[in-house]
Structure 1
Amino acid sequence: MTHALPGYICSEDGTRADVRTAPWGCPVCGGPWDLDFTPDPAAVLEPAAGPNSLWRYGSVLPLPGAFSVSLAEGHTPMVPLAERIHAKLDFLMPTRSFKDRGAVMLVELARRLAPQRVVADSSGNAGTAVAAYCARAGLACEIFVPEGTSEKKTERMRSHGAEVRVVPGGREAASEAARAAADAPGVFYASHVFNPYFLHGTKTYVYEVWEELGGRLPEALVVPVGNGTLLLGAALAVEELARRGVRPPALIAVQAEAVSPLAQAFAAGAEEAAPVEQRPTLAEGIAIPAPPRARQILAAVRKSGGTVLTVPDDRLQEAQRDLARRGLSVEPTAAACWAAVGPAAPGDPLQGRTAVLPLCGAGG
């Protein structure tokens, strides 16, 4: 039985495209695609009856029919960090990052489209995740990374069989190189920023929180934000669950103080974020000076009644040490949310609300 794949739609100008023939971005404005897909709120949602992976939420995912790509991703546990605050341990994902949630969706989509090769761009976790799932699916994979990417990260990508292309320049140069390669015939661009199927994978993070809390959500979801793929996935899930009668939480975005275009735009009341300077920070994973989905991120945070917080590197370091003293060893970027709302945070950023935050990446 052949199942139709939901098509792409541009939120800026309404352009539509078929997934099987679409370019990597909107041909009119060049922006990222959204997905023409809304789950039926009447569809049965019984995750406990499904597989022990994020495919347990198949009834609300945009890839119908049987899936074949999986590394038993998802279903990660939550542990208490402080009174009213829980951490969700996404460092227990197969490649230690929430990016597995989106990568498995992109690679399952690619498997169905049967390209000659898959290309992606990344400076770390997303590239590793795409490489791992392509290896699982038997797809040829090529990852474009900016010069200066750590050898530890590029070696992990190569270990999964990916060809790694080091591009002179920064993160945007790697993206441009990947997009140029994606224009060739027979190539699927597994972009965690431009392809909306990725967001429908990351939304399973919130469905798992909902399941683990017995059919409800906390009063706030605290999320690290660079390109915003976890926050936008969270916003999708919150909206979908609200149609099922679940009370929506506030979305609290956290940025590195050194590179915080969204925080600046939010404070100014702007609908779009102006690009900022790429400055050094320990939170490399969220140091994105010009996120392509900035307008969507800002709108989602405002709609939820949330806010955008920033953390300086010294507080981030202390938060990372504090988590380690609690038995949780995570990479610096992953400590950003704890730095923003934990004991060392100034004031009461959560305003007494219950909250869940993600921890991903191991050590380092």
Structure 2
Amino acid sequence: MTAYVCPRCRSRAASDALTWCCPLCRGPWDLDFTAAPVSLPSLASRVNSLWRYAEALPLATSRPRVTLGEGRTPVVPLTEDISAKLDFLTPTSSFKDRGAVMLAELARRLEPRLVVADSSGNAGTAIAAYTARAGLPCAVYVPEGTSAKKLEQIRAHGARLVVVPGGRDAAARAAQEAAGEPGAFYASHVFNPHFLHGTKTYVYELWEDGGGTLPDTLVVPVGNGTLLLGAALAVGELHGHGLIDRRPALVAVQAEAVSPLAAAYRAGADALDAAAEARPTLAEGIAIPHPPRAAQILKAVRDNGGTFLTVTDDQIRSAQADLARRGLYVETTAAACWAAVRAEPPRPGTTVLPLCGAGTKTGLAPEATPEEAAPDRS
């Protein structure tokens, strides 16, 4: 197995250990892993899951591997230049399946007594599903106020559900305490870098479907930044191997109500000084007051020529209704990127954004009127 390395203090640990964070600075791990170049012509005959990009993935050296056929989601146009990748068409109806399959495969090899996860809903659902597929016991910690439909889905996969009083940070602290028990594996989509190597397949698929090219701009929602950091990994790998000749801009979208990264970016800061206030927002999936990988997220956006955009709940509500009228029923968080580009169109060129969670997870946002729901064909 590859090794964990701390991006802050450079301490290391074996990735077959149950150490979920750097023991010195308590920060999240990176993975000391070098992806090999993927052969585009060879992909046509490969397995129809994210494991098709085996050269670029850790844990891809043995079979069988945990899978539910995740990935390979379609891209559909929204306007002449803006398209959406339908990542809600995955086994648990969110892009978190891309990272969860990696954590479940790692857990399968480690054989822990218990897999522990925390989530605002989608990551917990994905971990519950993939650990069930791997035959492993799982406990998922969620904050109070998590969508009832997401709670139902987690329970359906057989995981033990623990609802924690307070917000997203409280759920993370409770899960981390449980992960400190002997034999527990913390399947953290934030702290464990295997998750990011799963989400990077989002960009590998765009590259494959584009015949070896990428869009000019990638717009992604950002809370803990797992999709954006995965995208940055993939862009770096593809560019480093000479498989693309330019890097697309990475544009990060946050909810205006909870937007610590956007504020730090606009202030020219390299990290967060303090946690943001945890205010209510329709975009519950990205309402993260203090993302542990904040410095990495800010650097990735700057290094890839991007920026931060913020959206209000009214804009999210309108965007969700507009997407539904186009035949795309997504959850409120998933509508944030469409809300952002409607309000502030991206630079000239092609743009792709993810629709990363199904509408059945949260339902249609309240107070959407028939006038708001009329499709905007701009």
Q: TM-score, normalising length from structure 2?
A: 0.92
Cα drift, residue 6 of structure 1: 1.0
Q: Distance in 1 between matches of 2:221 and 2:141?
A: 23
Three-state SS of the structure 2 residue aligned to 1:82 is: coil
> Is structure 2 residue 15 aligned with structure 1 residue 19?
yes
**Counterparts of 1:188-267 in structure 2 under 5 Å?**
188-245=185-242, 246=244, 247-267=246-266
> Is structure 2 residue 287 aligned with structure 1 residue 283?
no
**Counterparts of 1:113-128 in structure 2 under 5 Å?**
113-128=110-125
Q: Distance in 2 between matches of 1:86 and 1:76?
A: 13
Report the more deviating stretch, 47-56 or 286-295. 47-56
Q: Distance in 1 between matches of 2:17 and 2:157?
A: 28
User: 1:66 is aligned with what amino acid?
Assistant: R
Which residue of 1 is the match for residue 318 of structure 2? 318
User: 1:54 is aligned with what amino acid?
Assistant: L
Q: Distance in 2 between matches of 1:194 and 1:353?
A: 34
Which residue of 2 is the match for residue 144 of structure 1? 141
User: 1:361 is aligned with what amino acid?
Assistant: G
Q: Distance in 2 between matches of 1:326 and 1:149?
A: 27
8 Å Cα contact 1:67-1:108 kept in structure 2: no
Cα drift, residue 147 of structure 1: 2.0
Q: Distance in 2 between matches of 1:294 and 1:67?
A: 35
Q: Distance in 2 between matches of 1:315 and 1:146?
A: 25
8 Å Cα contact 2:167-2:278 kept in structure 1: no
Three-state SS of the structure 2 residue aligned to 1:12 is: coil
Q: Distance in 2 between matches of 1:148 and 1:318?
A: 22
Aligned length: 355
Q: Distance in 1 between matches of 2:64 and 2:340?
A: 38
User: 2:324 is aligned with what amino acid?
Assistant: A
CA deviation map 1:270-307 (0-9, x unaligned): 00023110111111111111000000000000000100
CA deviation map 1:163-187 (0-9, x unaligned): 0112222211111111111111111
Three-state SS of the structure 2 residue aligned to 1:157 is: helix
8 Å Cα contact 1:309-1:340 kept in structure 2: yes
Structure 2 residue aligned with 1:356, among 346, 349, 352? 352
Structure 1 residue aligned with 2:55, among 54, 59, 78? 59
Three-state SS of the structure 1 residue aligned to 2:218 is: strand
Structure 1 residue aligned with 2:33, among 34, 37, 56? 37
RMSD, aligned α-carbons: 1.1
Structure 1 residue aligned with 2:160, among 153, 158, 163? 163
User: 1:314 is aligned with what amino acid?
Assistant: D
Which residue of 2 is the match for residue 85 of structure 1? 82
Q: Give unmatched runs, 5+ long, in structure 1.
A: none
User: 1:275 is aligned with what amino acid?
Assistant: A
User: 2:8 is aligned with what amino acid?
Assistant: E
Three-state SS of the structure 2 residue aligned to 1:13 is: coil
% identical aligned pairs: 68
Cα drift, residue 20 of structure 1: 1.9
Which residue of 2 is the match for residue 271 of structure 1? 270
Cα drift, residue 22 of structure 1: 4.5
8 Å Cα contact 1:69-1:104 kept in structure 2: yes
Q: TM-score, normalising length from structure 1?
A: 0.95
User: 2:319 is aligned with what amino acid?
Assistant: A
CA deviation map 1:32-64 (0-9, x unaligned): 0000001133x6453222101001001110112
Cα drift, residue 144 of structure 1: 1.0
Residues 1:61 and 1:6: Cα distance change in structure 2 (over 3 Å): same
Which residue of 2 is the match for residue 154 of structure 1? 151
Cα drift, residue 150 of structure 1: 2.8
Which residue of 1 is the match for residue 298 of structure 2? 298
> Is structure 2 residue 4 aligned with structure 1 residue 8?
yes
Three-state SS of the structure 1 residue aligned to 2:163 is: strand
Structure 2 residue aligned with 1:100, among 97, 101, 120? 97
Q: Which runs of 4+ in 1 moved over 4 A?
A: none
Which residue of 2 is the match for residue 178 of structure 1? 175
Three-state SS of the structure 2 residue aligned to 1:93 is: coil
User: 1:52 is aligned with what amino acid?
Assistant: N
8 Å Cα contact 1:49-1:56 kept in structure 2: no
Three-state SS of the structure 2 residue aligned to 1:142 is: strand
8 Å Cα contact 2:18-2:184 kept in structure 1: no
User: 1:165 is aligned with what amino acid?
Assistant: V
Three-state SS of the structure 1 residue aligned to 2:358 is: coil
8 Å Cα contact 2:18-2:185 kept in structure 1: no
Three-state SS of the structure 1 residue aligned to 2:88 is: helix
